[in-house]
Structures are given as structure tokens and as C-alpha cells.
Amino acid sequence: MMLSVGDRPGPPRSTLATVVRCIARTLDAEFGIAPQRLLAEVGIPPDVLQDDELRLPLPDLSRLWRRCEEATKEPSFGMRVARHVVPGDVYGIDLALYTSSTLEEAVRRFAQFLALLTTVSVGQFRQDADGDWHLGYEVASECPPTDSARDFFIFAQIHLFERQCHLSAPQFLRRIELTRTAPADCATFQSLGVDVVFDQPASGMLFKGATWQRPLLGANPQLLAQVEQPILEYLARLGAPLPLSALRARLVDRLAEPPSAAAFAQRLGMTRLQLEQSLLDQHVTFAQLLDQTREIQALRLLATPDLSLDQVSLRVGYRNTSSLIRAFRRWRGITPASYRKQCCSRDTKP
Amino acid sequence: MYLCQTNNYLAHRERLSLSPTAIYAGLRLLESRGANLAGIQRLWGFQLTTINQPHLRLPAFLNRRFWDLVAELDEDPAIGLAMARPADLGQMPGVSYLMQLMPTRLEALHCMQRFWPLVAAHIGLSLERSGDRVHLGLASASKLQLTPTELDYWFARQIRYLRSWLCAPDPVLEVCMSRPAPADTGPWDRLAGRPVHFSAGHNALLLDYDALCHARPAGPARVQLALAESLDAYARQTAGGNLLEVASSAILHGLQGGISLEALAERLHMTARTLNRALLREGWTFSGLIDVHRRYLAQDLLQDHSLTVADVADQLGYHEINSLIRAIRRWYGTTPTALRGSGSGLPADEDSLVHSAQHSSSES
């Protein structure tokens, strides 16, 4: 059974079918196995390879992964496939990571957009006592994915972080946690130079606190907002929660004449009801989202000394400075002018 | 047969500026090799902290200064090749990524050509097909030439991209570079893996048409569209160009006919005083800008053996040939003849040079 994007999410957990391309490339290039035959055996039609929006349900993919494990007899097959992910496979998410400002932002963004790639797992962050950050994945399905699929999932994202953030895994990772039992040949799994632990209750990884907030050179908010647009639209069609930070980024340039909830929803390719439901799931209203965006943008603009208060007011969508001052007191408890003074004095300190 | 000519984004083509994203990766490599970025910033005269501003355009002369600096600071003669190594998806304001989403590398090259003026308008890019060959050419779009290090960089980037496709045939057949052969051609031969012709008179990659047509599934159409829109927005937002760029461009085009601070100020609808103050904020004076352009152009034009020293002096807007000779002594500590001989692999024709120089100076 195949799912199109518009289908109701929920119980049938699905994964973006481009993973099949990665598997096909690996079979072809590394094992000399014609992928079409294997796909036919597990009932996946070959035109799946051409479609970049299609999703496959978990059981179909599990059959494919198991068949590949049999055919290749390779315990680290999932790891091998993880090296065959190309930019066309991840719907622009790699570029969104590249244009993020810090490693933390990139990793959090990945977790927010994960539903586009797969709804099988959900990521959770927590900081440990040493200041390291743990990203753990809960499997949201009764029948868990195969070992290869889970290896692929973890190693593919590590490669994404490595490539997009220009860091090697040992620079930002302390530990990789896998659910599989320890294989006879552990060395392959340790080949990234990061400690790997097996037999864990859930997959995950531990990010080093020291590099967690490392600034990224590719940071580019404009390009990011642009590439987030199709990702948001896809998430909307999927019925997945829309990351609030990405929604705010879409609103920032429109504050002078803010769109209505209906117009904004339409731009995202969804109905107003769908947008409001997604916001409700995250305990905010559209008015609050707009207000948050204004606050963030006002803070940003006030840090630019060459803009007058009048200009700042207009750009964040207030008719006059007194409305801005009122709103600013509500957000921060001080006036915009004194906030600006604080900013400037901080900047000029040696 | 022409496949396509660069004919988009005219505002950018005429401006001789580039997106500094092209040199992020290079800076990162220099840093990893232990270069002192603060020192580079001081010598370069450019704020490294501003290089990440999404809408910044780098005037061609500052780009030239950067590549000269790289060649001076790093002892590796193949530094330009090494600088192209980090594969950067965000490079060339998103064009690199868009190219990755194309179904064939031929389409990716067309895509690159379409957006090229946004990437590096100081270089002209041509794409021609004849029979089973595709000819990808690079040439300076102005009198300001590309240094060997910069050319190495752009060649290496193209070759690396063309080889970045997993499991696809290698389309590179031959490499022609105008630069003189380095003492050790090893790094170039290893990069190309194909014949490399130095001192070739033009800069081009010869590619195999069929290999370029090798197809893989294209990336999502919606993502392609979003990126194309983003590039159009970038083009609009950078269409005006900053002051340094406008001034540099005016100087490059106006040196020969004579250009003054007052004339440029009038064209920009400001007073000379305001213009000078604005340039000072960028770290430049008008005469400093003229000088730096003359300095690079003198070096480049002297490599053209069809020009006499008098021709060069004239193109730079010097009324007296002796002014040029004095300036070259000040910039390079040498004579025009020696400079002509040093910058290129071609032997300088000293007799005709001296003769024409004497001839012209007696006339002036």
C-alpha cells in the first residue's frame, strides 16, 4: 500500500520514499545487485524511484530492509546506505541545516522537520549534567523498524550534520546509541571515530556541549526562509506540526501589512482550520504567533542603530511609536529606547 | 552549436562584482592551515565579519586583492585547487544546491549558466556543444584578469562538482588553462585525471556530452522553485550595488577617458565631499581606488604583447608614459619590461617593447 501526501497521518507511520533511492544506489554500486528485482520481490513498484514526494508505510520498508540484509549478508548495510544520501533525497532539509546560524539550531531544525522524512520516530532533547545535549528517538509504532533501518536513520543524519556544518563527527559527538545487539564486527560501527554503544532502549546521540553552539559559516536567514517554504507546505499537507520558528520566519517580512490567518494558511497550501489546529496543538493562537514575530523582529531592528523608532514601529507593523512602546513594555517591561541603550552599551564595551 | 549564452541578470553582468560566498570555503581552508584571519583582514582591507551578510557583493578589485593575498600568504602553489575542496551547498547563493537537484549534469550546467551573473559576474561563462563534446569556458569579463590561483579555484570547483555524482560516468575529457605550467604539475594532473594543457590561450573544460546526459531522479520540483525564487529575490536585492562596487565599476570603465571624483559624485547625485566621506567609511579614498585599479590593470595589460607600454599608459589614463614607469616602480619595484616578463609564461619581446616605449615617449 502506498500513501500519498494528502492522506490522513496518524497510525500508519510513513517514511519519505526517497530512502528507496538510497537503498537502490547502494545495492547497485556496492553490491552489484540490480535493485529492480529486489523491489519487485517485496512488492514496491519501480516508479517509486522517480517520485520525490511519495511516502511508504513502515511495513513495506521493513520488508525491503530485511530482504536487503538477506541478499547482501552485510550487518552494517544500513550504515552503507547512509553514505548514499544525495541532496535531492531530503527535500531541501540539508540546505536548511547548512543555512542555520549554529550547530544547535541546525540539529533542532532537523528534529522539527523530521516528520517530513519519517513519522516513525520523534526526537527529544535533554541536557545532561556535564552540559552535553542528548537527542533520543522514541519509536512511535508498535512494530519497530529493522536494525538496518535504524542504523541508516542515525548514520544518515550524522553525515548530514557533518557535511552541512563542516565538522567531523568526533568534533561534535561524544556517543552514538544504537538499539541493535552488538555485532561481531564492532569496528565498522566505530569507523566514524565516535564511541558507539549497543543494546540501548532507544536510538540516539550525545552532542558535545563544547561545540553545541558553534556558529556556522553558511548562516543565511534569507535563503533559509526561502527553502523552508516547500518544507512547511509539505508538513502542512502531511498534517504534521508546523515548527513555530519556521512560521515566524515566514511572517517576518510581512509584518508591515500582516496577512490574515486565512491568507497565511493559503500561502502554506493549507486551510485556515488546518493552520489553527496545528497552532492549537502547540498551544498558541495565530495572534500570539504574530505578536511573537513582532517582538523578535523589534529586538532585532532595535539592535541596528541607524533605524529610528518610527521606522522600527512601521516595520514591525505598528502605526506609531506609542503602540510600539506599549507592546514593548508588555514584552520586556522596559521601553524600546532603554533596550536600545542597553544593546549599544554592551556592544561598545571592550 | 550554442546551447545557451549567459543572458540573464543584465544588471549584474555589467557590474563586475561577485557573491563572496565563493570565497567562504577558501577562507575556512586558510584558517585550517593556520592562517591568521585578523592578518588577512588587515592586508585585504575588508571586514571579514561582514562577508557573511547575505546581500553583500564583492567588487572585482577586492576579489583580485584577495587572490593575490592568498598566493602571497600560502606557500603551496596549488592552494587554489585545495581551496575548492570543501563542498558547500549554500555556495553561490544557493546555485550549488539547485544544481544538485537537476536530473542531469548538462541541465545543472545550464542552471549554473543561467544564474552565473549572480555568482561571479566578473567572469564570463560560456557553454558550447560541438558534436559529442561540450566546451565550458571561463574568461574575465573585464580588463582585470583572473589570477592563476583564482582560475585554479574555479576549475577545481567545476571538476569536483562534475565528479560529485555518485555512480555516474566521468565527463571530463581535457582541461585547457591559460596560466603558465607550474613547476610541479602533479596536483593539477591528479585533480583532472585527464590531459591538462597549460599556457593554452583560453580557459576551458572539454566535457563528454553523453556522460553529461547521464540521468538520475531530479530533486523535488517545489524545492527547485523555492530556490529559483530565492535567487530572483537575491538579484533584486543586490541590483543596485553598494557604493564601493559602483565606484570601482566606474573607475574600471572610465580610467582611459579620465574620471574624476566630481564627475562620479554628480552621477551618483551627491556632492564630492559626501562621496569621499562615504568611501572613507568603507576604508578607501577616491585616489586610493584609482591607484589600486591602475596597479592591477598595469600588471594585466602588460601581459598582452599586442599592447605597447604607451598603449598601456593610455588605457590607464596617464598622459605621460613616465608617470606609468614611476608608478610601476612604486608598486612593484621594477620596470614595465621586467613586469611584462615576470607575470606570464610567455617570453617578453624586450626589443620591441623598449623600442615602442622610447618611440612613444619621444612623441609625448
B89 vs A87, A217, A226: nearest CB: A87
Over residues A16-58, the pLDDT tens digits come to 999 999 999 999 999 999 999 999 999 999 899 988 899 999 9
Contact residues on chain A for B223, CB-CB shorter than 8 A: 91-92, 227, 230
pLDDT in tens, A159-182: 999 988 888 999 999 999 999 999
Please state the ipTM of this predicted complex: 0.78
Residue in B55, B86, B90 nearest the CB of A95: B90
Residue B49 forms contact with A (CB below 8 Å)? no
Report d(CA A39, CA A25) in Å as an integer.
12
CB A235, CB A113: distance < 8 Å: yes
Residue linked to cell 621586467: B338
* B97 near A CB under 8 A: yes
pLDDT attached to residue B91: 67
What is A71-125 written as a DSSP string? Answer: HH--TTHHHHHHTT--GGGTTTHHHHHHTSSBHHHHHHHHHHHHHHHBSSEEEEE
pLDDT digit string (tens) for A222-255?
888 889 989 998 998 888 888 888 888 888 888 8
Q: For residue B90, give the nearest of A21, A28, A98 by CB distance.
A: A98
Q: How far apart are CA B79 and CA A124, in angstroms?
A: 43
Scanning A141-200 for CB atoms below 8 A from B yields 163-164, 166
E strand or H helix at A348, and its extent?
A: helix A336-348
Strand A14-16 and strand A55-57: the pairing is antiparallel
Selected for mutation to probe chain A from B19, B27, B230, B236 (highest A CB count within 10 Å) is: B230
> In chain B, whose CA is at the least distance from the CA of A28?
B167
* Closest by Cβ to A88, choosing from B88, B100, B226: B100
Q: Return the pLDDT at B343.
A: 55
Using a CB-CB cut-off of 8 Å, the residues of chain A touching B90 are 95, 98-99, 218, 220, 223
Neighbours of B317 (CB within 10 A): 19
DSSP state of B335: -
| CA of A277 vs chain B CAs: smallest distance (Å) | 24
Which parts of chain B have pLDDT scores under 70? 1-7, 13-14, 52, 86-91, 343-364
Chain B touched by A133 (CB under 8 Å): no
Nearest CA in chain B to A22: B166
Measured between CA atoms, the residue of chain A closest to residue B167 is: A29
For residues A223 and A101, give the distance between their C-alpha atoms in angstroms, rounded to a whole number.
12
Per-residue pLDDT averaged across A81-106, rounded?
Answer: 93
Pairing of strands A14-16, A203-207: unpaired
Q: What pTM did the predictor assign? A: 0.81
Query: For position B353, what pLDDT does the model report?
Result: 35
